[in-house]
Amino acid sequence: MSVPRQPDPILTVDVEEWFHVCGHPGYADVAAWSGMTSRVGPCVDMLLDLLDGSGSRATFFVLGWVARSHPGLVRRIADAGHEIGCHGDLHRRVFEMGLDEFREDVRRAKGVLEQQAGAPVTSFRAPEWSMRSASNPALAVLVEEGFRLDSSLVAAPPVGEISNPSRPALLQTSAGPILEVPTLSGSFFFRRAILGGGVCSRLSRFSRVEALMAREMRSGVAPVLYLHPWELDEKHPPMRLSVVGTLVHFAGRLRTRERLIELVARYRFVPISSATASVPAGGAAR
Ligand SMILES: [Zn+2]
């Protein structure tokens, strides 16, 4: 009897500037962004160099504002063989907008990304996992706007309800189905946390993250990892954040690059659109 091949892990990048921090009054003024030091271009280029020749391909969830401010960036990512997804337009959390505002935000971002990529953009990730719940009506808006995949839900309070799917699942919305592909999660100090990227992952032992990845792959599910370009930036400008905000943004940050180098040496990563194949039989829950 042939053993089914394990799925390849999925790599995703949320393409935003270092100052795209949700909920911080010092960085919320969109008009001020163009006066801040831009670092996204060189950081994305560093990532592309790192992935070049590795055989791995990733999905880059790009902010509409970044695409407009850096003409040519989306093209460089796509020309390197990677997939373009949408991270919203102005890095606003879903629950801070009405449904009409949310529709306007994603429509504007999708429009510029598709124009620059020259291909349909059908995958979405909300800033700061702000979809929060599998019953959020904003998921139906995504379907109506032409998205087929969402990667905004996590089953890790407080950023996502514990009842959210923790593996790929076909969600039914009032506008039709959407494939939810959550980021790798696991326990961190006895609580459920995102371990596919972010501060809890950076502060976890690398072997722990790899063990979680292996467990998922053995059960036929592609683990989803994520990172931000600013996590690799040795010239990251200083920030004025709270103690907790500083911890979340900076703690263990410079481990990201060395871990990524090890990961692409060990695994062949694939874009998130390949997750459609990884839904286990009968696993299309909720
Ligand atoms: Zn973001």
Read out DSSP for 110-175?
HHHHHHHHTS---EE--GGGTT--TT-THHHHHHHTT--EE----SSTTSS-TTS-SS-EEEEETT
Model confidence band, residue 260 (pLDDT cutoffs 50, 70, 90)? very high
Distance 282 CA to ligand 1 centre (A): 32
Instruction: Give me the DSSP letters along 163-218.
Output: TS-SS-EEEEETTEEEEE-PPPEEEETTEEEE-SSHHHHHHS-HHHHHHHHHHHHH
Check residues 4 and 283 and name the one with the higher pLDDT: 4
Distance 251 CA to ligand 1 centre (A): 17
Model confidence band, residue 2 (pLDDT cutoffs 50, 70, 90)? low
Confidence (pLDDT) at 179: 97
**Among residues of the chain, what percentage have pLDDT more than 90?**
76
CATH class of 10-278: alpha beta
Confidence (pLDDT) at 102: 98
Distance 12 CA to ligand 1 centre (A): 12
pLDDT tens-place string over residues 57-94: 999 999 999 999 999 999 999 999 999 999 999 999 99
Confidence (pLDDT) at 22: 87
Q: What residue ranges do the domains of the chain occupy?
A: 10-278
pLDDT over 90 at 202, yes or no = no
Model confidence band, residue 1 (pLDDT cutoffs 50, 70, 90)? low
Model confidence band, residue 284 (pLDDT cutoffs 50, 70, 90)? very low
Structure token digits, residue 121 = 């953009």
Distance 91 CA to ligand 1 centre (A): 6
Q: Which residues have beta carbons under 5 A from ligand 1 (an ion)?
A: 14, 16, 127
Distance 154 CA to ligand 1 centre (A): 15
Alpha carbons within 13 A on the beta-carbon side of 142: 31
Contacts of 171 (CB under 8 A, 6+ apart): 134, 139, 150, 165, 177, 178, 179, 180, 286
Between the ranges 232-236, 252-256, 268-272, 273-277, where is the mean pLDDT highest? Answer: 268-272
Distance 20 CA to ligand 1 centre (A): 7
State the average pLDDT for the chain: 92
Report whether 14 contacts 152 (CB < 8 A).
no
pLDDT tens-place string over residues 14-35: 999 999 998 888 898 999 999 9
Confidence (pLDDT) at 253: 87
Distance 1 CA to ligand 1 centre (A): 44
Distance 4 CA to ligand 1 centre (A): 35
Distance 281 CA to ligand 1 centre (A): 32
